[in-house]
Structure 1
Amino acid sequence: MEFSCLCPRCGSEEETLMHALKDCPKARAVLIHGGFDNALLDGSYWRCVDWIEDVARSLDKKALSDFVTVLWNIWNSRNNKVFRNTEEDAKAIWDRAATLNRDFRTFNFMERPMIPKPVEEKGWQKPRLGVVKINFDAAVEGRRMSFGV
């Protein structure tokens, strides 16, 4: 069996993780189809994690969830090309990611979480021995101010 380092989808560059998920024209087409703008796609990164961290800083939680799901589907599409010799267009890959995200959110909305959030006890607690707690409060109204300790 012959082994090639070239990208199995575009065949034009060496396949790295950055190329497979961002720089390959097939991956880029999926990201663009999904509405990820050039600001997220531009830039040269040596490590994929640096790119993902930059993207994560610029997206809200829902958009970041969409982004990660799209990357996962791009990788699955790449594996389907390598191991099954099947290819899908950008719209099909994006649609599958969108459906997966929608189903995941619906399930988590309808079902109790498998790992419940820990209950946090809130309220005043007496400071431990040897600790002095000082409360300070202030109020401002117009040109008047008051405070208390």
Structure 2
Amino acid sequence: MVFFLPKKDDNTIARTKVLENVLTSTSQGDPYKELWRRIWKATVPGKVQIYVWRACSNLLPTRAKLSTKGYQGDLQCLLCSHAYEDTSHVFCKCPIATAILTASPFNLGSSLLPSLEFKEWLLDHARNLPNDLFAKLLMILWALWKNRNNMLWNHTKQSAEELVLSSLAWLEEFGKANKINKTALSKPKQAWRPAGYGTWKLNVDGSFLPGIAHGGVRGVLHDDAGQFRAAFAAPIPAVASTRQVELWAIKEGLKLVATMQVSNIIIETDCLEAVSCIAETQFTYVHDEGIIDDIRQELNHRTDISVQHTSRVNNRVAHCLANLAFEARHSSMWFMKPPDFIVGVLNDDCKHLR
């Protein structure tokens, strides 16, 4: 008796090969670790890194993604009227995307989509493209999303040629600015630093989008040597403003500190408004009076804890947890070992300490 097995198509074979390469090259931890490393090491603007990370994590508000959050409107692509606008379509399948990616300098005509998910597709190129071309690819992905949003909000869009020229021109200017900063400026690069001997530092951040009732908070705790000790990410079901969600982040950070029973803590946030309203003697923001009062009471009992403002540059790790918290349905905590998807940013922030 002869059995005939179903023949696999080329896309299925290619997808299996890519994933086998990834999984066999990673004996433990996140199989996408190389993708995260390439994204955070790429010489591109920080906002581009953040948005590409969000795309890989399926956190961008495409119409398909919004439909899982209660959106019941049109699911068509804003640019080409394809029936279903998801991350893979926006960045790889939409005609303007394919026109760019199959042309020079990318020449990705043998793209494995649609059999690969977007994150798998980008991982494949992260493993094979040289640094300069991978940086250009990230810029194009950012430009494609910006072009989509311009169509949504302003009813305007760029052609493929305009999009490539504008995004690569921005990359060139960014590269020149970085070169100047490295060679001509005497001012040292701002970098995250531990609090100092005997004091731990907790960096917190909040995420909020106008028109959406919920938000997310997160925080990362380092000891006095800069070593990771804990992190948290939690959804906040009812949020009315950016200031309010940042206050919630501080409050949840205080809970983490209490849970771990540690002392001598500096809590850092990149929201100066939140720090200011905690320090004020009278309530200026009536709607936030309850949460501000809770924070003040805790700080009055814990004189070893202070809340300070820092720049966004020094709050990158907490910021990278933003979208996880925003999209999550349940709270998460990590102790001693950080989640894989922030390891790259953690290492980058602390490399000057070694």
- TM-score scaled by structure 1? 0.70
Give distance in 1, aligned partners of 2:160 and 2:97: 8
Match of 1:118 in 2: 352
Tell me which structure has the larger Cα radius of gyration.
1
State how 1:15-26 maps to structure 2 within 5 Å.
15-26=85-96
Match of 1:101 in 2: 171
**Which amino acid in the other structure matches residue 153 of structure 2?**
F
Instruction: Check the 8 A contact 1:33/1:90 in 2, yes or no.
Output: no
Match of 2:55 in 1: none
Match of 1:72 in 2: 142
Select the residue among 26, 32, 37 that pairs with 2:107: 37
Instruction: Check the 8 A contact 2:126/2:134 in 1, yes or no.
Output: yes
Instruction: Check the 8 A contact 1:6/1:13 in 2, yes or no.
Output: yes
Instruction: Check the 8 A contact 1:33/1:94 in 2, yes or no.
Output: no
Give distance in 2, aligned partners of 1:39 and 1:30: 10
Match of 2:159 in 1: 89
Match of 1:13 in 2: 83
- Structure 1 residue 23, shift from structure 2 partner: 0.4
- TM-score scaled by structure 2? 0.31
SS of alignment partner, residue 102 of structure 2:
helix
Counterparts in 2 of 1:59 and 1:35: CA distance versus 1, 3 Å: same
Instruction: Give the superposed CA RMSD.
Output: 2.2
SS of alignment partner, residue 352 of structure 2:
coil
Give distance in 2, aligned partners of 1:83 and 1:33: 28
Match of 1:3 in 2: 73
User: Which is worse superposed, 83-92 or 37-46?
Assistant: 37-46
User: Which is worse superposed, 24-33 or 97-106?
Assistant: 24-33
- Structure 1 residue 28, shift from structure 2 partner: 1.4
- Structure 1 residue 45, shift from structure 2 partner: 3.8
Deviations 1:87-142 (A, max 9, x none): 1100110011111110111111110344496275xxxxxxxxxxxxxxxxxxxxxx
SS of alignment partner, residue 73 of structure 2:
coil
User: Which is worse superposed, 54-63 or 105-114?
Assistant: 105-114
Counterparts in 2 of 1:88 and 1:27: CA distance versus 1, 3 Å: same
Identity of aligned residues (%): 22
Instruction: Check the 8 A contact 1:20/1:27 in 2, yes or no.
Output: yes
Instruction: Check the 8 A contact 1:9/1:81 in 2, yes or no.
Output: yes
- Structure 1 residue 12, shift from structure 2 partner: 2.3
- Structure 1 residue 44, shift from structure 2 partner: 2.7
Give distance in 2, aligned partners of 1:96 and 1:29: 16
Instruction: Check the 8 A contact 1:30/1:74 in 2, yes or no.
Output: no
SS of alignment partner, residue 80 of structure 2:
coil
Give distance in 1, aligned partners of 2:105 and 2:111: 11
| Number of residue pairs the alignment of both structures matches | 119
**Which amino acid in the other structure matches residue 73 of structure 1?**
A
**Which amino acid in the other structure matches residue 37 of structure 1?**
N
Instruction: Check the 8 A contact 1:6/1:14 in 2, yes or no.
Output: yes
Give distance in 2, aligned partners of 1:101 and 1:40: 25
Instruction: Check the 8 A contact 1:45/1:51 in 2, yes or no.
Output: no
Instruction: Check the 8 A contact 2:92/2:98 in 1, yes or no.
Output: yes
Give distance in 2, aligned partners of 1:100 and 1:74: 14
Match of 2:121 in 1: 51
